[in-house]
Structure formats: structure tokens, C-alpha cells
Amino acid sequence: MRGITRDDLLHGNIVKGLLHLSIPLMFLNLINTFYSIVDTYFVGQIGELQVGAVSLISPIMGCGTAFATGLCAAGIAMISRSIGERNYEKADNIATHLVTLCMFLGVLIGIICIAFAKPILNWLDTPQDIYQDAYYYLLGISLDFLFLFLLSIFQCIRQSNGDSKTGVKLNTISAILNVILDPLFIFTFDLGIFGAALATTVSKALVSPIAIYILLHDKDYTSISFKKHRFSFSTMISIVKVAIPASLGQFLSSFGFVMMSKNIVAYGSIAMSAYGIGNRISSLFYIPVNGIGSALSTFIGQSLGADQPDRAKECFKKAMILMSEIAVVCTIIGLLSSKMCVQLFVKNASDQLLDMALEYNYYAVGTAFFMGWYQIICAIFEGSGNTSITMILSTFRLWGCRIPMIWAFGQFTSLGPTGIWLSMVLSNFVVCSIGQILYFIFPWTRKIVH
């Protein structure tokens, strides 16, 4: 069997189906996280301050990739529902327009980041000891947007069909290339931190044509055809209407992380490096819990497309139980292995860096359950096409809770960076509670995608 079938999604065992679809997605998220982990590891061999430069740029990249996230949310909601309705021609048309839009945005965002690199770093009050490294890393990684967008859309189109394995295979190839190219560009070609960014870009650029070829020629799943499905303004508008709320929500969320970085870097470059290392480690333990939410959106979309709202609700319940069990295991392992992981990234790390990274990691790993809960709530509203709700939740999580908490802890306590870590835990708890209330009172099972 190639992937999970439509019948499995609509009538099969839910837990088995969630695992079947989520395990490849977990591996995909591991591969995507692997890019930043590999960059951080090799950059850490240059010096601990350089890790801070990479960490400062990551949220900026997140602002750009927010648009890919929005397109993917729209794609999964619209394509999976079209498949649930057995309208395969419509699914192909949507996929073709998604690829066109993602290519345009990938190029545009990359150009904007390159053009405004120095103004961005100046606004962030980037310390002089990491300014040049941050600048060169931003230039190199900005070239990656086009290929990152293409691979993201490829994954979303295949996932909507129940195939989460093909995207994993392509990203695995790209990740292996990145491992090879990173030390080659950084040390052999003596490109330093710019080489780390370039390695990431080239590794994806080499794989992206394969994704396009598969979408053009594999007719067993949703495919694209630029000749058959001519540009349609109405189709593009329907995609944008669903994508904008998710994109805007993710952008505001990512921009909130930029503001967090601005607050963190105010405590010095070491604090920024500690945050970066801790963030890379904790993200590994978020992968299993987040994978359940990623898989759930496909179940929700196809269940509602087939007019099975009760099954959609049952999928939510099963996903919550499964995620909770996984979160407990991830938290225990994460807390026990934190120190070893920190020391792996930076050889001979200073005591200040080690202590700060460990403290951040304890807070971050400890909130794995809330991260999983948040992803499942988002999956409900994204899978049902109610992306405006995810926009509200993601925006409120950062701007309604976290940023004000960071300001309050900074102004009225002497917690220092600890106040930032604590605000992350509290904001996740608050937004998950609100999201759960919306699950019960908002009519998310109604049909809104046409």
C-alpha cells in the first residue's frame, strides 16, 4: 500500500491511521529540524558567539516561511476536502495554483530579505561581535526561500492525499546533502557562517526539481498541469482567502519570536547562543507531539468533506490521548538528556553558556504537552478550513500573552532571561485553554470551503 488510503482515513482505525500518517511526518519534521541542528553544530565548531548569530536570524526566516505555512494550511484544507468529495479535478487545479503562488512568493521574499538585510539587523540592535556573521548568514539563507517553499507545498499536496512518505524521502536526501556540504563549504572552502547557509540552500535546490517532476507526472495522486489548469483569478483568490489568515497568524507569531530575540540579545550574545542551542534541543522533543497534530488536519479535512462530523470529533479525542502519552515520554527523556545535548553542540562551552542553555531547555522541554495540545487545536481549525481561528490563536499566544509577559517580567522582576523562558510556558497554557473552549463552542464542522 502506497501511503494511507481514503478509505483508511474515513473508515479505518483512527489511532492506527494517525500513527501511519504521523510517523513519516515526525520523521519529516526531524529532517527539517536537522537542517538547523547541523548548521548549529558545525557553526558551534567555529565558536559559541557564531551560534548566537544563527539563532538571531532564525526568527527572521520564520517570518518569511509564514507564507509557506499559510499556503500549506490552505492546501491541506482545500485539497483534502476536494478528495473527500471525490472532486479530483478540483484538487489538481488547486495544487497547480498553489505551486505557482509559492514560487512567486519564494523569489519575492528572498529578494526582500537580501535588500533589507542590514536595516533588519540594525533594528534588532545586533551586537557588534556577531553582526558580520549574522549579516552573511542572512544573505545566504535568503536564497533558500524558493526551494523551501517548493518542498513545503509538495509535502502538503501529498499529505492531503494520505501520502506523507514521499516528501520525507526527498527531504532526507536533502538533509544528507546538507551534512556533506556544511563542513565542505564552512571549512574546506573557508566560507565560514555564509557556507552554512549556502549548504542549506544548495541541498534543497538539488532536490526541488525532483518534487516538481513528481507533481507533474505521478497521476496516482493529486498532480499539477500548467497547460490544463490555466491561471484562474477566482481560484487564486479562493486559495488566498484561506491562506491569508494562517499566513498572517504565523507571520505575527514569527514576528513575536523576532521580538523575543530582540529582548534576549539585550542580555548579550551569550544569552542569544544559549537560547539558540536550547531551542534546537527542545525542538527535537516537540517533533513527536507536533506530528500527531500535523496528521490530524488531513483526517479532519477528509472527514468533513465526506460529511462525517462525528468521526472528525472522534479523531480529535483519539489524537489528544495519543499525544498526551507521547508527551510524557518526551518530557522525561528531554529532561534527563539536556546537559549531554548542550555539550554536544559547543565544545568547551563556557559555564555561563552551559547554565543558561540548560535553564532554557528545562522550561522548553517541560512544556512539550502544551505544544502538542496547541498543534492539535490548530489542526482542528486548519483541517476544517477555519484558518482565521488559528490566526487569532497564534497571534494572541505571542502578542496577547508572551510579549506582554516578557515586558512585565523585565520591568517588575529581577528574573532576567528566566522571565522570558517562564513567559513561554504560561502563554502556551493560556492559549491552549482558550483554543479548547473554542473547539466546544465554535461551529467548526460546518462546510465553508467551496
Q: What's the pLDDT score for residue 450? A: 45
d(CA 113, CA 366): 34
- The list of the chain residues with pLDDT below 50 reads 1-2, 449-450
Please, what's the b/e burial string for 398-415 (b: 16 or more CB within 10 A of its CB; e: otherwise)? bbbbbbebbeebbeeeee
Name the DSSP class of 85.
T
Asked whether the beta carbons of 423 and 370 are under 8 A apart, the reply is no
- Predicted local distance difference test score (pLDDT) of residue 1: 36
The tens digit of pLDDT for each residue in 131-177 reads: 999 999 999 999 999 999 999 999 999 988 888 789 889 988 998 99
- Report how far residue 285's alpha carbon sits from residue 334's, in angstroms, rounded to the nearest whole number: 7
